[in-house]
Amino acid sequence: MLTQTVLNILSTIGPTLCVIFCSILPVLETKIGIPLGIDQAVFGKNSLSLFSSFLIAFVSSSIMCILLVTFFHFLFNRKRKPAKSLSKFQNLLKKPITKLSKMKKAKKIFMCVLFVFLPVPFSGIYGGAILCSLVKLNFFESVLSLIIGNFLSCTVEALACLALKPYISLCLNILIITITLTLLYQTISFIFEKTSKLPHKNTK
């Protein structure tokens, strides 16, 4: 029942807007946007061609790259400390950031491209925009790194969709379930972490 309701909503919105929305949202990004756009089980005859879905996903996420770089460069260049969630991300990447900061600029750009391209935790255009800001790449270098990494990622995702086209609905469901479980795990971990820091009441 819930699944059918979601499918009806997606069908009403249309494949183009769905691809755009997914491609600019964190976590989902183009890895959900591209296969969703070509899924005939969702959109039927209105589903996009693989090239159209790829192009829409890449262009919309690339525009988002520019906005993210602008935002995070402004945020990290301010004198006040960043939000706790960003500080946690910064501490998580403390060692690689220290190593990256000592590299030459060309190597920094190359590593940031790889970070956006490779499916590692916190990667993608959002994590990449933060990383570029932390290793002190300028605006143009950051945007260039994100767009190149994003293009490579979209290309691999499109090729995977081409190879797995008969099973695209199954692959999409697996991706959504994996993302949901990951978010659930992160949420539970965050709650337990916050709970453990609360002062315990004396039972005596």
Mind listing the pLDDT tens digit of every residue in the chain (204 residues)?
445 565 566 667 889 999 999 999 988 899 999 999 999 888 888 899 999 999 999 999 999 999 999 998 888 765 555 555 555 555 656 666 777 777 888 888 998 999 899 876 668 899 899 888 888 889 999 999 999 999 999 999 999 999 998 889 888 888 888 888 877 877 787 677 667 766 655 544
Give this prediction's pTM: 0.81
161: its two tokens: 């969709």
Q: What is the pLDDT of residue 2?
A: 44
76 touches 82 (CB < 8 A): yes
93: its two tokens: 């990447």
Q: What is the pLDDT of residue 3?
A: 52
The residue type found at 123 is S
Q: What is the DSSP string of 170-200?
A: HHHHHHHHHHHHHHHHHHHHHHHHHHHTSPP
Q: What is the pLDDT of residue 114?
A: 92
Q: What is the pLDDT of residue 92?
A: 59
Interatomic CA distance for residues 120 and 185, integer angstroms: 16
Q: What is the pLDDT of residue 30?
A: 92
Residue ranges in the chain assigned as alpha helix (H): 2-13, 15-24, 29-38, 40-43, 50-77, 84-92, 94-101, 105-117, 125-134, 139-163, 168-196
Q: What is the pLDDT of residue 169?
A: 87
23 touches 61 (CB < 8 A): yes
